Protein backbone atom coordinates (compact mmCIF):
# COMPACT_ATOMS: atom_id res chain seq x y z
CA UNK A 1 0.00 0.00 0.00
CA UNK A 2 1.14 3.55 -0.74
CA UNK A 3 1.14 5.11 2.73
CA UNK A 4 1.83 8.57 1.31
CA UNK A 5 -1.97 8.73 0.92
CA UNK A 6 -2.08 9.57 4.63
CA UNK A 7 0.32 12.52 4.34
CA UNK A 8 -0.94 16.08 3.96
CA UNK A 9 0.70 18.87 1.96
CA UNK A 10 3.22 19.44 4.73
CA UNK A 11 4.20 15.78 4.83
CA UNK A 12 2.53 15.18 8.20
CA UNK A 13 0.63 11.93 8.62
CA UNK A 14 -3.10 12.23 9.24
CA UNK A 15 -5.89 9.81 10.14
CA UNK A 16 -8.42 9.36 7.34
CA UNK A 17 -10.51 6.63 5.81
CA UNK A 18 -9.61 4.75 2.66
CA UNK A 19 -10.97 6.33 -0.54
CA UNK A 20 -14.33 5.23 -1.96
CA UNK A 21 -14.50 3.74 -5.44
CA UNK A 22 -15.44 6.09 -8.28
CA UNK A 23 -15.23 4.32 -11.65
CA UNK A 24 -16.83 1.05 -10.58
CA UNK A 25 -20.57 0.50 -10.98
CA UNK A 26 -20.57 -0.95 -7.45
CA UNK A 27 -19.71 1.65 -4.82
CA UNK A 28 -17.35 0.53 -2.06
CA UNK A 29 -17.06 2.88 0.91
CA UNK A 30 -14.78 2.70 3.94
CA UNK A 31 -16.87 3.27 7.08
CA UNK A 32 -14.16 2.23 9.54
CA UNK A 33 -13.84 4.00 12.91
CA UNK A 34 -10.45 5.75 12.78
CA UNK A 35 -10.58 7.31 16.26
CA UNK A 36 -7.89 4.95 17.52
CA UNK A 37 -5.55 5.84 14.65
CA UNK A 38 -6.16 9.53 15.26
CA UNK A 39 -5.10 9.34 18.91
CA UNK A 40 -2.21 7.02 18.11
CA UNK A 41 -0.85 9.63 15.71
CA UNK A 42 -1.13 12.29 18.41
CA UNK A 43 0.73 10.07 20.86
CA UNK A 44 3.48 8.73 18.61
CA UNK A 45 3.77 11.45 15.91
CA UNK A 46 5.55 9.26 13.30
CA UNK A 47 8.30 11.05 11.39
CA UNK A 48 8.56 8.76 8.35
CA UNK A 49 6.63 6.19 6.33
CA UNK A 50 8.25 3.29 8.15
CA UNK A 51 7.08 4.53 11.55
CA UNK A 52 3.59 5.26 10.25
CA UNK A 53 3.34 1.84 8.59
CA UNK A 54 4.16 0.11 11.87
CA UNK A 55 1.57 2.25 13.66
CA UNK A 56 -1.09 1.62 10.98
CA UNK A 57 -0.50 -2.13 10.97
CA UNK A 58 -0.85 -2.16 14.75
CA UNK A 59 -4.21 -0.36 14.56
CA UNK A 60 -5.49 -2.49 11.66
CA UNK A 61 -3.97 -5.88 12.36
CA UNK A 62 -7.05 -7.87 11.30
CA UNK A 63 -9.73 -7.74 8.61
CA UNK A 64 -12.16 -7.39 11.52
CA UNK A 65 -10.72 -3.90 12.11
CA UNK A 66 -12.18 -2.66 8.81
CA UNK A 67 -15.85 -1.81 8.25
CA UNK A 68 -16.51 -1.40 4.52
CA UNK A 69 -19.90 -0.81 2.91
CA UNK A 70 -20.60 -2.36 -0.49
CA UNK A 71 -23.57 -1.70 -2.77
CA UNK A 72 -25.88 -4.70 -2.99
CA UNK A 73 -26.75 -6.42 -6.26
CA UNK A 74 -30.08 -4.59 -6.28
CA UNK A 75 -28.31 -1.25 -5.68
CA UNK A 76 -26.16 -1.84 -8.76
CA UNK A 77 -29.14 -2.83 -10.92
CA UNK A 78 -31.24 0.17 -9.86
CA UNK A 79 -28.39 2.66 -10.31
CA UNK A 80 -27.36 1.13 -13.67
CA UNK A 81 -24.18 3.19 -13.51
CA UNK A 82 -22.12 3.11 -16.71
CA UNK A 83 -25.13 1.39 -18.34
CA UNK A 84 -23.99 -1.84 -16.77
CA UNK A 85 -27.26 -3.60 -17.73
CA UNK A 86 -26.78 -3.02 -21.42
CA UNK A 87 -29.96 -3.98 -23.32
CA UNK A 88 -31.39 -5.88 -20.37
CA UNK A 89 -33.15 -2.91 -18.78
CA UNK A 90 -36.18 -5.12 -18.17
CA UNK A 91 -34.36 -6.49 -15.11
CA UNK A 92 -34.46 -3.03 -13.52
CA UNK A 93 -37.91 -2.10 -14.87
CA UNK A 94 -39.64 -5.25 -13.60
CA UNK A 95 -37.46 -6.04 -10.56
CA UNK A 96 -40.36 -6.62 -8.16
CA UNK A 97 -42.43 -8.59 -10.71
CA UNK A 98 -39.41 -10.75 -11.52
CA UNK A 99 -38.82 -11.46 -7.83
CA UNK A 100 -42.33 -13.00 -7.76
CA UNK A 101 -42.17 -14.58 -11.20
CA UNK A 102 -38.93 -16.52 -10.56
CA UNK A 103 -39.25 -16.58 -6.74
CA UNK A 104 -35.82 -15.08 -5.97
CA UNK A 105 -33.84 -13.02 -8.45
CA UNK A 106 -30.63 -13.58 -6.43
CA UNK A 107 -31.12 -17.35 -6.18
CA UNK A 108 -32.20 -18.45 -9.64
CA UNK A 109 -34.09 -21.64 -10.38
CA UNK A 110 -35.99 -22.32 -13.60
CA UNK A 111 -39.71 -22.60 -12.87
CA UNK A 112 -41.55 -24.74 -15.43
CA UNK A 113 -44.93 -23.63 -14.15
CA UNK A 114 -46.76 -20.86 -16.08
CA UNK A 115 -47.80 -17.70 -14.25
CA UNK A 116 -50.60 -15.25 -14.81
CA UNK A 117 -49.09 -11.78 -15.21
CA UNK A 118 -50.11 -8.32 -16.34
CA UNK A 119 -50.35 -7.66 -20.06
CA UNK A 120 -47.59 -5.06 -19.97
CA UNK A 121 -45.18 -7.37 -18.13
CA UNK A 122 -45.94 -10.26 -20.47
CA UNK A 123 -45.58 -8.13 -23.61
CA UNK A 124 -42.18 -6.72 -22.59
CA UNK A 125 -40.72 -10.10 -21.69
CA UNK A 126 -42.13 -11.65 -24.86
CA UNK A 127 -40.45 -8.91 -26.88
CA UNK A 128 -37.02 -9.71 -25.41
CA UNK A 129 -37.76 -13.43 -25.85
CA UNK A 130 -37.04 -14.54 -22.30
CA UNK A 131 -40.53 -16.07 -21.77
CA UNK A 132 -43.10 -17.96 -23.80
CA UNK A 133 -46.87 -17.66 -23.72
CA UNK A 134 -49.03 -20.67 -22.99
CA UNK A 135 -51.52 -21.21 -25.84
CA UNK A 136 -53.30 -24.26 -24.46
CA UNK A 137 -54.30 -24.48 -20.81
CA UNK A 138 -54.92 -27.79 -19.04
CA UNK A 139 -56.87 -28.43 -15.85
CA UNK A 140 -53.91 -27.60 -13.62
CA UNK A 141 -53.24 -24.31 -15.43
CA UNK A 142 -56.88 -23.23 -15.02
CA UNK A 143 -56.90 -24.30 -11.38
CA UNK A 144 -53.76 -22.30 -10.65
CA UNK A 145 -55.19 -19.22 -12.37
CA UNK A 146 -58.63 -19.37 -10.70
CA UNK A 147 -57.18 -20.14 -7.26
CA UNK A 148 -55.38 -16.79 -7.34
CA UNK A 149 -58.74 -15.00 -7.58
CA UNK A 150 -60.94 -14.01 -4.65
CA UNK A 151 -64.17 -15.89 -3.90
CA UNK A 152 -66.53 -12.97 -4.75
CA UNK A 153 -64.91 -12.67 -8.20
CA UNK A 154 -65.25 -16.41 -8.79
CA UNK A 155 -68.92 -16.25 -7.79
CA UNK A 156 -69.51 -13.52 -10.39
CA UNK A 157 -67.98 -15.71 -13.11
CA UNK A 158 -69.94 -18.77 -11.91
CA UNK A 159 -73.20 -16.80 -11.88
CA UNK A 160 -72.57 -15.61 -15.45
CA UNK A 161 -71.93 -19.24 -16.46
CA UNK A 162 -75.26 -20.30 -14.91
CA UNK A 163 -73.80 -22.15 -11.92
CA UNK A 164 -75.11 -22.11 -8.36
CA UNK A 165 -72.93 -19.89 -6.21
CA UNK A 166 -73.85 -21.43 -2.83
CA UNK A 167 -70.75 -23.62 -2.89
CA UNK A 168 -67.24 -23.19 -1.56
CA UNK A 169 -64.35 -21.86 -3.63
CA UNK A 170 -62.80 -25.22 -4.55
CA UNK A 171 -66.13 -26.62 -5.75
CA UNK A 172 -66.85 -23.55 -7.87
CA UNK A 173 -63.38 -23.69 -9.47
CA UNK A 174 -63.81 -27.38 -10.27
CA UNK A 175 -67.21 -26.85 -11.92
CA UNK A 176 -65.96 -23.85 -13.92
CA UNK A 177 -63.00 -25.83 -15.29
CA UNK A 178 -65.27 -28.75 -16.27
CA UNK A 179 -67.59 -26.31 -18.00
CA UNK A 180 -64.64 -24.77 -19.91
CA UNK A 181 -63.44 -28.19 -21.05
CA UNK A 182 -66.95 -29.08 -22.30
CA UNK A 183 -67.59 -25.73 -23.94
CA UNK A 184 -64.40 -23.87 -24.91
CA UNK A 185 -64.68 -20.12 -24.38
CA UNK A 186 -66.80 -20.21 -21.24
CA UNK A 187 -63.95 -18.61 -19.31
CA UNK A 188 -61.84 -15.65 -20.44
CA UNK A 189 -58.37 -16.98 -21.20
CA UNK A 190 -55.69 -15.42 -18.98
CA UNK A 191 -52.22 -14.29 -20.07
CA UNK A 192 -50.01 -17.16 -18.88
CA UNK A 193 -46.26 -17.16 -19.49
CA UNK A 194 -43.36 -19.23 -18.26
CA UNK A 195 -39.67 -18.41 -18.07
CA UNK A 196 -37.20 -19.68 -20.66
CA UNK A 197 -33.61 -20.69 -19.85
CA UNK A 198 -32.48 -17.50 -21.62
CA UNK A 199 -33.98 -15.39 -18.81
CA UNK A 200 -31.85 -17.13 -16.22
CA UNK A 201 -28.74 -16.83 -18.40
CA UNK A 202 -29.18 -13.07 -18.74
CA UNK A 203 -29.70 -12.58 -15.01
CA UNK A 204 -26.71 -14.80 -14.24
CA UNK A 205 -24.59 -12.64 -16.53
CA UNK A 206 -25.61 -9.53 -14.59
CA UNK A 207 -24.79 -11.32 -11.34
CA UNK A 208 -21.28 -11.99 -12.63
CA UNK A 209 -21.00 -8.35 -13.68
CA UNK A 210 -21.68 -7.41 -10.04
CA UNK A 211 -18.70 -9.51 -8.89
CA UNK A 212 -16.51 -8.11 -11.67
CA UNK A 213 -17.39 -4.55 -10.70
CA UNK A 214 -16.32 -5.18 -7.10
CA UNK A 215 -12.99 -6.50 -8.37
CA UNK A 216 -12.69 -3.46 -10.61
CA UNK A 217 -13.32 -1.13 -7.69
CA UNK A 218 -10.67 -2.79 -5.53
CA UNK A 219 -8.11 -2.06 -8.26
CA UNK A 220 -8.80 1.68 -8.29
CA UNK A 221 -6.53 2.15 -5.27
CA UNK A 222 -3.77 0.17 -3.62
CA UNK A 223 -6.02 -1.06 -0.81
CA UNK A 224 -4.59 -3.20 2.03
CA UNK A 225 -5.18 -6.93 1.58
CA UNK A 226 -7.05 -7.12 4.87
CA UNK A 227 -9.43 -4.42 3.66
CA UNK A 228 -10.07 -6.37 0.45
CA UNK A 229 -10.86 -9.46 2.51
CA UNK A 230 -13.31 -7.41 4.60
CA UNK A 231 -15.01 -6.19 1.39
CA UNK A 232 -15.63 -9.75 0.16
CA UNK A 233 -16.85 -10.79 3.61
CA UNK A 234 -19.38 -7.96 3.42
CA UNK A 235 -20.48 -8.89 -0.10
CA UNK A 236 -20.92 -12.54 0.91
CA UNK A 237 -22.86 -11.74 4.08
CA UNK A 238 -25.15 -9.00 2.81
CA UNK A 239 -26.20 -10.71 -0.42
CA UNK A 240 -28.04 -13.99 -0.81
CA UNK A 241 -28.15 -17.10 -2.96
CA UNK A 242 -26.06 -17.01 -6.13
CA UNK A 243 -24.55 -13.60 -5.34
CA UNK A 244 -23.35 -14.77 -1.94
CA UNK A 245 -21.89 -17.95 -3.47
CA UNK A 246 -19.97 -15.95 -6.09
CA UNK A 247 -18.62 -13.58 -3.44
CA UNK A 248 -17.48 -16.52 -1.31
CA UNK A 249 -15.52 -17.87 -4.27
CA UNK A 250 -13.56 -14.61 -4.42
CA UNK A 251 -13.23 -14.59 -0.64
CA UNK A 252 -11.49 -17.98 -0.80
CA UNK A 253 -8.50 -16.17 -2.33
CA UNK A 254 -8.00 -14.51 1.06
CA UNK A 255 -8.24 -17.67 3.17
CA UNK A 256 -4.72 -17.16 4.50
CA UNK A 257 -5.81 -13.83 5.99
CA UNK A 258 -9.10 -15.17 7.36
CA UNK A 259 -7.50 -18.23 8.93
CA UNK A 260 -4.75 -16.18 10.56
CA UNK A 261 -7.23 -13.69 12.01
CA UNK A 262 -9.49 -16.50 13.22
CA UNK A 263 -6.59 -18.21 15.00
CA UNK A 264 -5.65 -15.00 16.79
CA UNK A 265 -9.28 -14.39 17.74
CA UNK A 266 -9.74 -17.94 19.04
CA UNK A 267 -6.49 -17.72 20.99
CA UNK A 268 -7.57 -14.46 22.61
CA UNK A 269 -10.97 -15.84 23.61
CA UNK A 270 -9.43 -18.96 25.11
CA UNK A 271 -7.04 -16.90 27.21
CA UNK A 272 -9.44 -14.16 28.28
CA UNK A 273 -9.96 -15.58 31.79
CA UNK A 274 -6.46 -16.93 32.46
CA UNK A 275 -4.16 -15.21 34.94
CA UNK A 276 -0.45 -16.05 34.69
CA UNK A 277 1.68 -16.81 37.73
CA UNK A 278 5.28 -16.08 36.82
CA UNK A 279 6.61 -18.37 39.58
CA UNK A 280 5.13 -21.35 37.72
CA UNK A 281 6.60 -20.21 34.40
CA UNK A 282 3.34 -20.73 32.48
CA UNK A 283 2.96 -18.31 29.52
CA UNK A 284 -0.35 -16.71 28.70
CA UNK A 285 -1.97 -15.61 25.45
CA UNK A 286 -2.80 -11.93 25.08
CA UNK A 287 -5.52 -9.71 23.63
CA UNK A 288 -2.89 -8.13 21.38
CA UNK A 289 -0.85 -10.38 19.08
CA UNK A 290 2.29 -8.22 19.33
CA UNK A 291 2.67 -8.88 23.07
CA UNK A 292 2.56 -12.69 22.87
CA UNK A 293 6.03 -12.95 24.38
CA UNK A 294 5.19 -10.78 27.37
CA UNK A 295 4.02 -11.88 30.77
CA UNK A 296 0.61 -10.42 31.56
CA UNK A 297 -1.18 -10.26 34.90
CA UNK A 298 -4.91 -9.58 34.48
CA UNK A 299 -6.49 -7.50 37.23
CA UNK A 300 -9.89 -8.49 38.59
CA UNK A 301 -11.57 -6.11 38.95
CA UNK A 302 -9.93 -3.43 36.83
CA UNK A 303 -9.12 -0.07 38.39
CA UNK A 304 -9.28 3.42 36.91
CA UNK A 305 -6.16 5.54 37.17
CA UNK A 306 -4.96 8.94 35.95
CA UNK A 307 -1.39 9.93 35.17
CA UNK A 308 0.83 12.11 33.03
CA UNK A 309 2.51 10.20 30.20
CA UNK A 310 5.41 11.16 27.93
CA UNK A 311 5.73 9.30 24.62
CA UNK A 312 8.96 8.44 22.83
CA UNK A 313 8.95 11.88 21.19
CA UNK A 314 9.04 13.53 24.64
CA UNK A 315 5.48 14.82 24.20
CA UNK A 316 3.49 14.84 27.49
CA UNK A 317 -0.24 14.18 27.77
CA UNK A 318 -2.73 13.55 30.57
CA UNK A 319 -4.29 10.08 30.53
CA UNK A 320 -7.15 8.25 32.19
CA UNK A 321 -6.84 4.47 31.94
CA UNK A 322 -8.97 1.52 32.95
CA UNK A 323 -6.08 -0.65 34.07
CA UNK A 324 -6.89 -4.22 33.00
CA UNK A 325 -3.46 -5.85 33.19
CA UNK A 326 0.17 -5.37 34.17
CA UNK A 327 2.79 -6.84 31.81
CA UNK A 328 6.53 -7.48 32.00
CA UNK A 329 8.99 -7.82 29.12
CA UNK A 330 12.78 -7.56 28.98
CA UNK A 331 12.97 -5.83 32.33
CA UNK A 332 10.26 -3.30 31.50
CA UNK A 333 6.83 -2.92 33.06
CA UNK A 334 3.73 -2.03 31.03
CA UNK A 335 0.19 -0.96 31.91
CA UNK A 336 -2.48 -2.35 29.57
CA UNK A 337 -6.12 -1.27 29.42
CA UNK A 338 -8.72 1.03 27.90
CA UNK A 339 -7.50 4.59 27.38
CA UNK A 340 -10.41 7.05 27.59
CA UNK A 341 -8.56 9.72 25.62
CA UNK A 342 -7.77 7.38 22.72
CA UNK A 343 -11.13 5.60 23.09
CA UNK A 344 -9.27 2.34 22.47
CA UNK A 345 -7.05 -0.23 24.19
CA UNK A 346 -3.52 1.02 24.79
CA UNK A 347 -0.25 -0.15 26.35
CA UNK A 348 1.89 2.30 28.37
CA UNK A 349 5.48 1.87 29.55
CA UNK A 350 5.57 2.69 33.24
CA UNK A 351 9.03 4.29 33.04
CA UNK A 352 7.44 7.01 30.87
CA UNK A 353 4.85 7.90 33.51
CA UNK A 354 5.66 11.23 35.17
CA UNK A 355 5.07 11.92 38.86
CA UNK A 356 2.59 9.75 40.77
CA UNK A 357 -0.56 7.91 39.73
CA UNK A 358 -4.01 9.00 40.93
CA UNK A 359 -6.56 6.31 41.80
CA UNK A 360 -9.69 7.95 40.37
CA UNK A 361 -12.18 6.21 42.68
CA UNK A 362 -10.51 7.35 45.90
CA UNK A 363 -8.32 10.27 44.84
CA UNK A 364 -5.32 8.49 46.39
CA UNK A 365 -1.85 9.26 45.02
CA UNK A 366 0.54 6.34 44.69
CA UNK A 367 3.87 5.70 42.99
CA UNK A 368 4.14 3.38 40.00
CA UNK A 369 6.15 0.80 41.93
CA UNK A 370 3.73 0.83 44.87
CA UNK A 371 0.80 0.25 42.54
CA UNK A 372 2.54 -2.60 40.71
CA UNK A 373 3.60 -4.32 43.93
CA UNK A 374 0.15 -3.94 45.49
CA UNK A 375 -1.71 -5.34 42.48
CA UNK A 376 0.64 -8.28 41.87
CA UNK A 377 0.59 -9.25 45.55
CA UNK A 378 -3.21 -9.18 45.47
CA UNK A 379 -3.29 -11.45 42.43
CA UNK A 380 -0.93 -13.99 43.96
CA UNK A 381 -2.88 -14.13 47.22
CA UNK A 382 -6.17 -14.47 45.34
CA UNK A 383 -4.96 -17.27 43.08
CA UNK A 384 -2.81 -19.22 45.54
CA UNK A 385 -2.77 -18.14 49.20
CA UNK A 386 0.02 -20.62 49.91
CA UNK A 387 2.28 -19.06 47.28
CA UNK A 388 4.44 -16.17 48.52
CA UNK A 389 4.22 -12.79 46.79
CA UNK A 390 6.40 -12.11 43.78
CA UNK A 391 9.89 -11.01 44.71
CA UNK A 392 11.15 -7.58 43.86
CA UNK A 393 13.56 -9.12 41.33
CA UNK A 394 10.60 -10.29 39.25
CA UNK A 395 9.40 -6.76 38.70
CA UNK A 396 11.14 -3.95 36.90
CA UNK A 397 11.87 -1.45 39.65
CA UNK A 398 10.72 2.06 38.93
CA UNK A 399 12.63 5.08 40.21
CA UNK A 400 11.63 6.01 43.77
CA UNK A 401 9.06 8.75 43.80
CA UNK A 402 7.80 10.98 46.61
CA UNK A 403 4.05 11.07 47.00
CA UNK A 404 2.86 14.66 46.65
CA UNK A 405 -0.11 16.21 48.39
CA UNK A 406 -1.36 18.10 45.34
CA UNK A 407 -3.37 16.31 42.64
CA UNK A 408 -1.39 14.78 39.75
CA UNK A 409 -3.67 16.26 37.12
CA UNK A 410 -5.41 19.61 37.22
CA UNK A 411 -8.64 17.92 36.21
CA UNK A 412 -8.43 15.31 38.98
CA UNK A 413 -10.02 16.53 42.23
CA UNK A 414 -9.19 14.92 45.54
CA UNK A 415 -12.21 13.33 47.19
CA UNK A 416 -12.62 12.41 50.88
CA UNK A 417 -12.32 8.71 51.59
CA UNK A 418 -14.40 6.53 53.85
CA UNK A 419 -11.38 6.10 56.12
CA UNK A 420 -11.52 9.68 57.41
CA UNK A 421 -12.38 9.76 61.14
CA UNK A 422 -15.38 11.89 62.13
CA UNK A 423 -14.50 14.37 64.88
CA UNK A 424 -16.41 13.99 68.15
CA UNK A 425 -18.07 17.12 69.61
CA UNK A 426 -16.19 18.74 72.50
CA UNK A 427 -17.35 18.47 76.14
CA UNK A 428 -18.13 22.22 76.29
CA UNK A 429 -20.38 22.05 73.23
CA UNK A 430 -22.25 19.09 74.75
CA UNK A 431 -22.81 20.94 78.06
CA UNK A 432 -23.96 24.12 76.29
CA UNK A 433 -26.25 22.12 74.04
CA UNK A 434 -27.91 20.30 76.95
CA UNK A 435 -28.23 23.52 78.95
CA UNK A 436 -29.89 25.45 76.14
CA UNK A 437 -32.10 22.53 75.20
CA UNK A 438 -33.32 22.01 78.77
CA UNK A 439 -33.82 25.77 79.14
CA UNK A 440 -36.01 25.80 76.08
CA UNK A 441 -38.04 22.82 77.32
CA UNK A 442 -38.35 24.43 80.75
CA UNK A 443 -39.55 27.62 79.12
CA UNK A 444 -42.28 25.72 77.31
CA UNK A 445 -43.46 24.08 80.53
CA UNK A 446 -43.39 27.47 82.29
CA UNK A 447 -45.52 29.01 79.53
CA UNK A 448 -48.21 26.40 79.95
CA UNK A 449 -48.14 26.65 83.80
CA UNK A 450 -48.61 30.44 83.54
CA UNK A 451 -51.40 29.89 81.04
CA UNK A 452 -49.36 31.60 78.35
CA UNK A 453 -50.61 29.12 75.78
CA UNK A 454 -49.63 31.06 72.67
CA UNK A 455 -46.01 31.43 73.78
CA UNK A 456 -45.94 27.77 74.81
CA UNK A 457 -47.26 26.58 71.47
CA UNK A 458 -44.73 28.75 69.60
CA UNK A 459 -41.86 27.47 71.72
CA UNK A 460 -42.99 23.86 71.40
CA UNK A 461 -43.37 24.23 67.64
CA UNK A 462 -39.91 25.84 67.32
CA UNK A 463 -38.20 23.12 69.39
CA UNK A 464 -40.03 20.10 68.01
CA UNK A 465 -40.83 20.94 64.40
CA UNK A 466 -38.78 23.89 63.18
CA UNK A 467 -35.24 23.44 64.47
CA UNK A 468 -34.68 19.70 63.65
CA UNK A 469 -35.60 19.99 59.93
CA UNK A 470 -33.45 23.10 59.56
CA UNK A 471 -30.46 21.38 61.15
CA UNK A 472 -31.09 18.27 59.06
CA UNK A 473 -31.13 20.40 55.90
CA UNK A 474 -27.88 22.08 56.88
CA UNK A 475 -26.20 18.75 57.64
CA UNK A 476 -27.38 17.33 54.30
CA UNK A 477 -25.94 20.33 52.47
CA UNK A 478 -22.77 19.99 54.51
CA UNK A 479 -22.40 16.32 53.51
CA UNK A 480 -22.81 17.15 49.83
CA UNK A 481 -20.29 19.98 50.12
CA UNK A 482 -17.83 17.64 51.80
CA UNK A 483 -18.04 15.20 48.91
CA UNK A 484 -17.49 17.95 46.34
CA UNK A 485 -14.93 20.22 47.98
CA UNK A 486 -13.11 18.13 50.53
CA UNK A 487 -12.68 17.91 54.26
CA UNK A 488 -11.49 21.46 55.09
CA UNK A 489 -14.55 23.06 53.56
CA UNK A 490 -16.71 20.47 55.33
CA UNK A 491 -15.31 21.44 58.76
CA UNK A 492 -16.06 25.12 58.12
CA UNK A 493 -19.63 24.37 57.08
CA UNK A 494 -20.15 22.12 60.13
CA UNK A 495 -19.05 24.90 62.47
CA UNK A 496 -21.50 27.28 60.80
CA UNK A 497 -24.28 24.72 61.24
CA UNK A 498 -23.50 24.29 64.95
CA UNK A 499 -23.51 28.06 65.56
CA UNK A 500 -26.79 28.44 63.67
CA UNK A 501 -28.33 25.61 65.70
CA UNK A 502 -27.27 27.22 69.00
CA UNK A 503 -28.81 30.53 67.92
CA UNK A 504 -32.14 28.83 67.13
CA UNK A 505 -32.19 27.07 70.50
CA UNK A 506 -31.36 30.32 72.32
CA UNK A 507 -34.24 32.06 70.54
CA UNK A 508 -36.55 29.22 71.56
CA UNK A 509 -35.32 29.40 75.14
CA UNK A 510 -35.93 33.17 75.26
CA UNK A 511 -39.43 32.78 73.83
CA UNK A 512 -40.18 29.99 76.26
CA UNK A 513 -38.94 31.95 79.28
Contacts of 497 (CB under 8 A, 6+ apart): 471, 474, 475, 478
pLDDT, mean of residues 399-406: 37
Residue 24 — very low, low, confident or very high, per pLDDT cuts 50/70/90? Answer: very high
| Predicted pLDDT at 209 | 96
Please indicate, yes or no, if residue 416 is contained in any of the structural domains. Answer: no
Same domain, 84 and 207: yes
Same domain, 286 and 316: yes
Residue 477 — very low, low, confident or very high, per pLDDT cuts 50/70/90? Answer: low
- Whole-number mean pLDDT of the chain? 76
Which range has the worst mean pLDDT, 126-140, 184-198, 381-395?
381-395
| Predicted pLDDT at 432 | 62
Q: For the packed helices 35-44 and 49-59, what is the interaxial angle rounded to 10 degrees?
A: 140
Q: What is the SS3 string spanning 82-106?
A: HHCCCCCCHHHHCHHHHHHHCCCCC
Same domain, 101 and 207: yes
The per-residue pLDDT for range 261-293, each reduced to its tens digit, is 888 777 666 654 443 333 333 333 444 444 444
Same domain, 57 and 143: no
Same domain, 140 and 191: yes
Distance CA 412, CA 419 (A): 20
H or E element that contains 305 = strand 295-310
Residue 314 — very low, low, confident or very high, per pLDDT cuts 50/70/90? Answer: confident
Task: Tally the domains of the chain.
Answer: 4
**Dihedral through CA 306, CA 53, CA 287, CA 231, nearest 10?**
120
Sheet with 192-195, side-by-side order of all strands: 115-116, 192-195, 131-133
pLDDT, mean of residues 125-136: 86
The per-residue pLDDT for range 68-79, each reduced to its tens digit, is 999 999 999 999
Between 458 and 82, the higher pLDDT residue? 82
Residue 386 — very low, low, confident or very high, per pLDDT cuts 50/70/90? Answer: very low
Between 52 and 464, the higher pLDDT residue? 52
Same domain, 109 and 228: yes
Same domain, 99 and 1: yes
Same domain, 129 and 105: no
Residue 52 — very low, low, confident or very high, per pLDDT cuts 50/70/90? Answer: very high
Closest CA to 490 of 502, 473, 477: 477
Closest CA to 128 of 169, 92, 170: 92
Tell if the pTM clears 0.75, that is, is over it. no
Which range has the worst mean pLDDT, 55-59, 102-106, 397-401, 508-512?
397-401
| Predicted pLDDT at 399 | 36
DSSP-assigned beta bridge partners for residue 116:
192
The per-residue pLDDT for range 430-444, each reduced to its tens digit, is 656 566 566 666 666
| Residue 4: domain span | 1-114+203-270
Residue 250: pLDDT over 90: yes
CA distances from 106 to 21, 75, 117, 469 (A): 24, 13, 21, 75
Residue finishing a domain among 394, 409, 440: 394
| Predicted pLDDT at 79 | 96
| Predicted pLDDT at 274 | 47
Q: What single DSSP character describes residue 18?
A: P
Same domain, 107 and 216: yes
Please indicate, yes or no, if residue 421 is contained in any of the structural domains. Answer: no
Same domain, 94 and 207: yes
Distance CA 220, CA 216 (A): 7
Residue 470: pLDDT over 80: no
| Predicted pLDDT at 484 | 56
Same domain, 290 and 323: yes
Amino acid sequence: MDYSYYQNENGKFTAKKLPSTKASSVKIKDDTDITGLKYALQDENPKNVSQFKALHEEEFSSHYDYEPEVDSFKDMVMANKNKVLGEDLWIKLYWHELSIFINDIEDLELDEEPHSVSDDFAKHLLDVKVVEEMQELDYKDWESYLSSMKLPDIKVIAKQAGLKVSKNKAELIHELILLEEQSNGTLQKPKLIKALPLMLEKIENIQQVYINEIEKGLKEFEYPEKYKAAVWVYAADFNEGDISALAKEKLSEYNHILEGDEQVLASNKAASNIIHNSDLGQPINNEESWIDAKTKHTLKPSIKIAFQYTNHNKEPSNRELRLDAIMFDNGLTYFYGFCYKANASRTFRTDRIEKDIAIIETGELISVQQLVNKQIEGLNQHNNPATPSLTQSTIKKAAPKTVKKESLLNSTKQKPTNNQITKKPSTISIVIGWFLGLSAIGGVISNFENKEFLAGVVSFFAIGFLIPPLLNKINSTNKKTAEEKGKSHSDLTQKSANIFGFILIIISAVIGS
